[in-house]
Structure 1
Amino acid sequence: MPRPVCHPRLEAAAAASPFASPAAFALRLTALTRDAVGVLDGGPTAALAAALEDFLRTRAAGMSLDVLRQLRDAAWFPPGRLRVPLHDHLRALAGRYLVHAGRRVALRPDGDPAERAAAWRWVSLALPTDLLVAALCSTSSLEPPDDAALLVTPRLAELLRKPCAETHLHVGAGIPFGLLWAALMRDLSTSRLRLRAATGAPPFGDADAFTGHLLAGATVRLLLASFLRRREHAGAAETFDAFLRARLRHIADAVPWGFGAHEAHRGLLHALRLVERRAAPPPLELARRLYQALSGPPHARGQPSSTGEVIANDPLSTWLPWSPGLALPETRLICRALRYLADEGGGDGAFALAFWQYQRIRCMTHGFLVEEPGTAGLDWFTRHYGRISPLRGTLTVLTYSSALELQSRDLSLGALEARTSPEPAWTKVRDEVRELARQACRFRPPPRRPRPEVGLVLHLIKEHERTLPTGQKRLHADPDHLAFGCRFGAWFHERQRQAVAIETALQRHPELLLVLRGIDVANVELAVPTWPLVPLFRRVREASRRASARLGRARPRWEAGPMRATVHAGEDFRRLVEGLRRVHEPIEFGMLEMGDRLGHAVALGEDPERWAAAARTVAQPAEERLDDLLWELERYRRREIGAETGRLEHVRGEAVALARQIYDGDERFDLDDLLAARALRHSAAALARVGYPFFRERPVRRAPERLFQRYLSDAEVFARGQRPVHVEADATEAAMLRAAQRWLRGVLGAREITVECNPSSNLLIADYLALDEHAAFRLQPVAGMAAPEGPPVLVSVNTDNPVTFASSLADEFAHVYFALLGRDVPADAALAWLDKARENGHLSRFTLRASAEPRALLDLSPRRRRR
């Protein structure tokens, strides 16, 4: 029986497959063909259809092949058409969603806007937006005015003229794909890229094959551009094949390298054949040297000082220079190519093949970076996020500039908080803060927009494993470690070095507090529990308080309060109670204070009955299950939630039974001892008494201390705690969860804690069918929608990782707006909800007003301070 499935997501995958799938690259398609209605041609199109069926069947939740074929034919073939060239298919896809709107290309306003916007969300994840913008503009004589599509409606645009704060942005991903590709087109000629460091299997099999195809694609890109430029400037009417026969040797003769014109000609032909899938990759260094010679010297040598320099260094810029009000050179190249294919080049098969194969290399790179729908969970996200850094190249020194430009698009950016991981050396922490200040000082906001406040939030990274000198892997949770002899000892030691680096940087340069505004913990949520974080957060907070006191005397006008804190929690959980526990523990044990924030926290808004029905039986490590039970018992003991007698006895019995299995039967303890041991584990003072992370066992008499020490250091306790136990959800647990959510929402409200909502991130990581299911609408109820019991929670809207989720801050507001309209929420109510979320974000920001002033930012410069 079919299960619920998101049809627009499947339709987007079908529509994109001729451009973005490995099968399309292998089959070298330039057109979709069929012999008759419902009957494919038996050639490449049929082979692509078979590959698409294999891709969709595991994502279609039981839909029949016939239904998938109908969906495919609707995506590929207009009524009555037997042959559809790919330029027609792409233009039709762009026209279905986009329209010219003055100086921008925008989402079509006709029809059902919510339905179109929901479908567009999936299309923009499957294909680069600039490809579709170029396709739309190719139907007219207009130059593409931008690389992004305008999603905000007129009324939403007016709302977003008020100050908006981006409070959850991992700055390494704050780069639009088009800019990253422009940088890549220059970086390929250098040795800056380290694609072997990318996580997961890259396109074309491995890192070397991927690099080889990127180099070949970049080379063919220049040949395509040279051909189109010759037609445009010289009026030549030749085909691409004739151009290559006539001009390729002249191009090879002009290549300034030391291997001779003959080798250059061979290299150019080899690049064409590799892109057309008729040759194996050549030696990478030779291909790189050829591309370096072919692309010419960069416009500006050394490290670029602005994103404008990055674009100017794109080899295409010598023909298609960029300026404000124009799209990037790549988008304009695509536009010209599509016009040629739709007009004089309709029969130019050589051009069509080279162009579409190059675009597939580009689209597959986009797919490598953007998280694929259906890959839920933080482990999958972490894999996607790890692919960005090796491809950033020169943009690594401009991540803050790029993020400021991207997040200022289509709204008034009042504040931007960038997150990155701290280095273990205090001088590098200092330099990172200064670099943000330097790039923010150079940033020029859009006309009639104020300068944004800026802040840096340093996040500690959770990791599952450590690598032994032998190359073997061990969990960080495993206490079997010669140096530390306790759980998470090596992990804590590295994070402690980072915390000490922050502490030292603030001690030596308290003025860094102007920009250094927060501490966070991120990455794989379930990899590390809460307790090792407590001493780290305390250390950083105390250092920032001392720096704030000094700065209050030296720079009183800055009003620089101490650093604040936010925690990624409640996003990834095996059982809903585990998510709620991880949301509450940072508050319970003092990591979060008044006015701090939580990242994601979707567990707070998950419907308990729906969750229990979907997760009837779930496997969980025994020690995590025990912690869930102890957390629940603590809530009963403190009378924070009510307890049914049957539920209370069941939880007590299961907790004691699990504890006896984990700690073995000889240990004498009761429930109070277990609860006290849990509290000791989360006590910075208790951890310091045993020398953590260099564990020193101390003689103790009381059971809680014995349990605490055994938990930290006993390898057998660890092994028994990792044993999976299958836990069944029932009605009593659902009732407890509902009461716990209601109580915990009140706790957050009383402490002014704002939840950082990241709509597209949660859509993919939580694997929602659609954005209208988002937990944020239960945390901060919408007028006219059914609300859960209990007080509302402050919610803000953010992007998390723009390139990973193909989004920007304005886009996220638009996605939420259309999702609410799709739930039949009136426009006024939807806009009011978004205005409240916008205000929440701005009021919960950690940034300082003085950080919007270039003069104050210059005070962080060492040269400025010496004067």
Structure 2
Amino acid sequence: MLKHITDTTVKASILPFSDERFLKEDIFNKIYLSQNPYTEYREFVEKTYSYIRQTHHIDNLDYIQLLIEKYYPLRLLRNYDSNSIFQNQLNQISKCFICHRNGIFALKYWTNDCYDGMFEAFQGFSKIELWNTFSRQFCMDILVANYLLENDMKDKEYLNGYYWLINIGDLQLDRILENGIAENHMHVNAGTYFSTIWEEMLNLSNVDLDNIPVLREYGSIQYKDYIVKASIFRIISSYYLRSRIHSGKLFYDYLETLDASLTECKKIIDLMNCNKLVIDVIDFKDVYDKLLRGSSVGEILGNGKSYIHTTDENIFLFESLKYIKTTKDDVFSRLFWKYIVLKNILYQGITQNNYSTGLDYFQKYFSKATCKLNVGRHDYLKNVFLNQIYNNHLKKLEIRISPPNNPKQKNVLRKQLCKSLKDIFEVYLELIDDKNISDIVPNLGIVIHFIKEKDQTFFEKCWCIESDKDSNYFYGNIQRRYFNQINTILDIRKNIPNLSKYLVGIDAASVENNTEPWVFAPIYQVARDSKNGMLDNKFSKINNLGFTFHVGEEFRHIVSGLRHIDEVIEHFGYHAGDRIGHGIALGIDISSWCENNKIIAIPRIEYLENLLWLWGISKECGIDFNYVEQEIMKLAECIYENIQGITVYELWKAYQAKFNKFQVDEDLMNSICNIQAERCAEKILCTKVSTTAGLYWNAEKLLHAFHCKCYLERMYEVIQVNVVKSDVEYISCVQSYLKKRLNQKGIVVEVNPTSNLAISDIERLFKHHAIRLNDKGLDGNSKENGLILNINSDDPVVFNTSTSNELAYIFYLLQDKGYSRESILSWIDKVRKWGMDTSFVIADENRTKEDRRKEIEQIINALK
């Protein structure tokens, strides 16, 4: 599979910049200085193979060994020292990938002589796929610095305007995107970029290194020590790079004769013992609290007032590489490359790769990437906005924020939500007042997204126990929290004039398998209640609240993914213009999925409801699903034991009733409860009794059984089911039916290519399903392939991407499929416009900048 080949090729090519062994030892110099380099080299190859196989799928040992020998041949390692090899590898990579076009750094997507020796097999558009993987494994900033220096651009001013992103579109695509794009699917906590996190990690005076998730992950190596060393090295070497013109000393001599005026650095050097610092063996156990950060790197190296619009880190990398390329300074070079290795290792810990799929795996990256350390909320939000503003051509920006998680104290919930919104508006007002960027600040929309949460207490759902009423039924406490949150959202939209122009939608995100759509259906029904669309207290309209919902992104069975999408549009009050987040089940190739998933592990109730859903839509699909009735009854017998009164229709009615707010009938619940509770010495004792032998079931009783531990335990028992070839036909028909349904209702699908590749079971980037959702204007004529799409980034810091680059990936995918450039550009322009038109963000055509400013000031005052 190309995905695995690309991943292993990238891993091998960047080995010295990302292998933790290069933090502890100088492997290349060990071979270079050895009397028997062949023996050392074979050991290097064997250990490297073991290192790669820890995270990568490897079919062939010989292939990996040959890759290692390709990038690090013995003749190279025997004749060049470590510093030379690092520089050589960096030069080749930057020449391969980076170019400069119209004032921006862009991907060199064509082939040239320099490129042929590095990744010569990745010709044409496969280079784009290679870059997608590479950019999530290697921190880009050093490539840009190296590219400038290799092309004789030796003034740091050339970095002006560069922050983090490499543009991958070509000139014609850029011309299309200049007309404006929208970002409609971005979680604000992941809206920044890695350099922000890196800068804060190195801020030793404010950061508790024990509480950084990405550092806790690496238990075998003292990464906290390396962070301290990296921070000290960066500060001291910045002073050194600034003063070297006058002193002319090499770095090691400079450490020993440090200028007394640099008092803070001198304290650190005295404290750390400079000789031990250089040879990398010091113990920092009792030192953290004594460290104080000196001046910022930008101030030291001449960017204190940010006259160059770039990061301090970019300037530091540029000046350091310039020094290394012009001076033989082994100590500085060795420490600098260790600094880069550490940075790349942590970058890989935050930016998600393709090694494993699923939202549970993604959550590990998201939690590390969204750890804000001690950066202030204002500064963090400003970084997020600037990160998006410098994304080319952005006109509309939706950001997703989570509501405060306080289920009981409604006044506290309101206060916290108002505080979160006020923080956002204050930063946004500051940006639109900034004369340097006010013209490129996009229109803002805020989407509140609920967090999907698993009710892990179904084994405690004993109705006989006296407790909080909501805790007795399944998802009761969680649902109550969602109700409190949505009612607070609706209340402040109604009572704060003009807020509905900016607080524009609701969503639900996180692990899809945690919370099925029925839990959220009553919440969305409340949000769409017509009474919430009245005039506000200033006699102006309240804009509709847009609906979107993460669904069909991750699924145990493809039918589960399709069912969940259908449940959302059927039971949430969806109408034209509302959106589905990801919806991968709509576009995935059914035959490939069935071939790759022959046996599925699934909770019994999920499989049962899949069959009930298929049975219920059989008429609309034009397929006879009556054959599933026998399987449905078998599953029902496993859950309920006594099946008197149970029919497929009664089971289907109970399944449909789950999407309404549960109203418990205590007598009914007691009649089906198979648990008897007794009090003994203030303890509750529960014993099973036979109370259902004569029970005659109906839909209402079946619904109540869904909230009783007697049945929940058997419902959520995991079973295995087979997927056979004959399933392909009916699942394909169901998928087509659902696409037609979304098309008729005008539901929009939010597409996020890199996120979909990393999280979902997509074989490779250029097998993304976007054109299976809409191929109008290309070569497709099928009615169901006419869904409205918008393309977004999802989580920029996790996937190192932007909306413009995600559009570019689809642009190259279409070229790889062989469509004409004219039709591709027309199709991309159509999807770009859809992004603008399907955004929940209100356009500014009828409002002047001053009008918008006054609105926001009034909103801020009201939120106080």
**TM-score normalized by structure 1?**
0.85
Give the CA RMSD over aligned residues: 3.3
Partner of 2:174: 157
Q: Residues 864 and 802 (structure 1 numbering): CA distance in 2 closer, same or farther, change over 3 Å?
A: closer
- Cα contact 2:644–2:696 (8 A) shared by 1: no
The amino acid of 1:660's aligned partner reads E
Partner of 1:278: 281
Cα distance in 1, alignment partners of residues 448 and 636 from structure 2:
37
Cα distance in 1, alignment partners of residues 521 and 306 from structure 2:
49
The equivalent position to 1:721 in structure 2, one of 700, 709, 715, is: 715
Partner of 1:578: 560
Partner of 1:289: 290
Cα deviation 1:237-293 (Å, max 9, x = unaligned):
322212212228x377x129xxxx7775123638836xx54233322xx3243233x
- Cα contact 1:461–1:523 (8 A) shared by 2: yes
The amino acid of 1:497's aligned partner reads N
The equivalent position to 1:554 in structure 2, one of 535, 538, 560, is: 538
Cα distance in 2, alignment partners of residues 503 and 620 from structure 1:
37
Cα deviation 1:49-103 (Å, max 9, x = unaligned):
4443124336665532221122223334599674352122112111111123353
**TM-score normalized by structure 2?**
0.86
Partner of 1:19: 17
Partner of 1:826: 820
Cα distance in 2, alignment partners of residues 404 and 114 from structure 1:
32
Partner of 1:240: 251
Partner of 1:710: 705
Cα deviation 1:814-863 (Å, max 9, x = unaligned):
22222222333332232222212211211111111258845335434459
Q: CA deviation at 1:392?
A: 4.7
The amino acid of 1:436's aligned partner reads I
Partner of 1:299: none
Q: CA deviation at 1:404?
A: 3.0
Cα distance in 2, alignment partners of residues 688 and 720 from structure 1:
23
- Cα contact 1:34–1:41 (8 A) shared by 2: no
The equivalent position to 1:664 in structure 2, one of 612, 629, 641, is: 641
Q: Residues 696 and 168 (structure 1 numbering): CA distance in 2 closer, same or farther, change over 3 Å?
A: farther
The amino acid of 1:172's aligned partner reads N
The amino acid of 2:474's aligned partner reads R
The equivalent position to 1:214 in structure 2, one of 217, 227, 238, is: 227
| Stretches of structure 2 lacking an aligned partner (at least 5 in a row) | 112-122, 407-412, 674-694
Partner of 2:93: 93
Tell me whether 1:202 sits opposite 2:213 in the alignment. no
Deviates more, 1:108-117 or 1:74-83: 74-83
Cα deviation 1:660-682 (Å, max 9, x = unaligned):
10122355311010000011111
Partner of 2:796: 802
Name the SS of the counterpart of 2:572 in structure 1: coil
Cα deviation 1:620-663 (Å, max 9, x = unaligned):
11111001101101101xx111224xxx3431111111011012
Name the SS of the counterpart of 1:517 in structure 2: strand
Name the SS of the counterpart of 2:706 in structure 1: helix
The equivalent position to 1:177 in structure 2, one of 187, 194, 208, is: 194
- Cα contact 2:298–2:315 (8 A) shared by 1: no
Q: Residues 56 and 784 (structure 1 numbering): CA distance in 2 closer, same or farther, change over 3 Å?
A: farther
Cα deviation 1:189-216 (Å, max 9, x = unaligned):
215x57526379523558xx44443222
- Cα contact 2:213–2:371 (8 A) shared by 1: yes
Partner of 1:336: 319
Deviates more, 1:71-80 or 1:145-154: 71-80
The amino acid of 1:730's aligned partner reads V
- Cα contact 2:577–2:748 (8 A) shared by 1: yes
The amino acid of 1:396's aligned partner reads R
Name the SS of the counterpart of 1:419 in structure 2: strand
The equivalent position to 1:452 in structure 2, one of 437, 442, 446, is: 442
Cα distance in 1, alignment partners of residues 166 and 818 from structure 2:
25
The equivalent position to 2:48 in structure 1, one of 49, 52, 69, is: 52
5 Å-filtered alignment, 1:410-559, equals 410-423=391-404, 424=406, 425-444=413-432, 451-464=441-454, 474-475=456-457, 479=461, 482-483=467-468, 484-542=471-529, 546=531, 548-551=533-536, 554=538, 556=540
Q: Residues 541 and 214 (structure 1 numbering): CA distance in 2 closer, same or farther, change over 3 Å?
A: farther
Partner of 1:302: none
Q: CA deviation at 1:386?
A: 0.8
| Stretches of structure 1 lacking an aligned partner (at least 5 in a row) | 297-312, 466-473
Q: Residues 515 and 24 (structure 1 numbering): CA distance in 2 closer, same or farther, change over 3 Å?
A: same
Deviates more, 1:237-246 or 1:656-665: 237-246
Partner of 1:471: none
Cα distance in 2, alignment partners of residues 34 and 269 from structure 1:
27
Partner of 2:183: 166
- Cα contact 2:522–2:572 (8 A) shared by 1: no
Q: Residues 479 and 116 (structure 1 numbering): CA distance in 2 closer, same or farther, change over 3 Å?
A: same
Name the SS of the counterpart of 2:292 in structure 1: helix
Cα distance in 1, alignment partners of residues 810 and 193 from structure 2:
20
Cα deviation 1:109-129 (Å, max 9, x = unaligned):
532552322211111111111
- Cα contact 2:499–2:859 (8 A) shared by 1: no
The amino acid of 1:368's aligned partner reads G
Deviates more, 1:145-154 or 1:611-620: 145-154
The amino acid of 2:6's aligned partner reads P
5 Å-filtered alignment, 1:47-446, equals 49-57=45-53, 61-76=57-72, 82=78, 83=80, 84-101=84-101, 103-111=103-111, 114-139=125-150, 140=152, 141-143=154-156, 144-145=158-159, 146-147=162-163, 148-186=165-203, 188-191=204-207, 196=211, 198=213, 201-205=216-220, 209-231=222-244, 233-234=245-246, 236-247=247-258, 250=260, 254-255=263-264, 265-267=270-272, 269=274, 272=277, 277-283=280-286, 286-292=287-293, 295-296=294-295, 319-321=302-304, 323=306, 326-345=309-328, 348-394=329-375, 396-423=377-404, 424=406, 425-444=413-432
Q: Residues 162 and 721 (structure 1 numbering): CA distance in 2 closer, same or farther, change over 3 Å?
A: same
Q: Residues 316 and 816 (structure 1 numbering): CA distance in 2 closer, same or farther, change over 3 Å?
A: farther
- Cα contact 1:374–1:767 (8 A) shared by 2: no
Partner of 2:690: none
Name the SS of the counterpart of 1:820 in structure 2: helix
- Cα contact 2:584–2:769 (8 A) shared by 1: yes
Cα distance in 2, alignment partners of residues 738 and 333 from structure 1:
55
Cα deviation 1:355-382 (Å, max 9, x = unaligned):
1112222222211211122121000111
- Cα contact 1:168–1:418 (8 A) shared by 2: yes
Cα deviation 1:477-496 (Å, max 9, x = unaligned):
86359531221223223323
Cα distance in 2, alignment partners of residues 228 and 791 from structure 1:
59
Cα distance in 2, alignment partners of residues 854 and 372 from structure 1:
44
The amino acid of 2:86's aligned partner reads L
Cα distance in 1, alignment partners of residues 509 and 361 from structure 2:
14
Q: CA deviation at 1:318?
A: 5.5
Partner of 2:115: none
Cα distance in 1, alignment partners of residues 852 and 744 from structure 2:
34
The amino acid of 1:678's aligned partner reads Y
Q: CA deviation at 1:454?
A: 0.8
Q: CA deviation at 1:142?
A: 4.2
Name the SS of the counterpart of 1:436 in structure 2: helix
Name the SS of the counterpart of 2:517 in structure 1: coil
Q: CA deviation at 1:805?
A: 0.3
Deviates more, 1:509-518 or 1:805-814: 509-518
Name the SS of the counterpart of 1:175 in structure 2: coil
The amino acid of 2:538's aligned partner reads A
Cα distance in 1, alignment partners of residues 806 and 137 from structure 2:
17
Cα distance in 2, alignment partners of residues 854 and 435 from structure 1:
20
Q: CA deviation at 1:164?
A: 1.0
Q: Residues 155 and 351 (structure 1 numbering): CA distance in 2 closer, same or farther, change over 3 Å?
A: same
Partner of 2:628: 651
Name the SS of the counterpart of 2:183 in structure 1: strand
Partner of 1:740: 734
Deviates more, 1:577-586 or 1:727-736: 727-736
Cα distance in 1, alignment partners of residues 274 and 649 from structure 2:
76
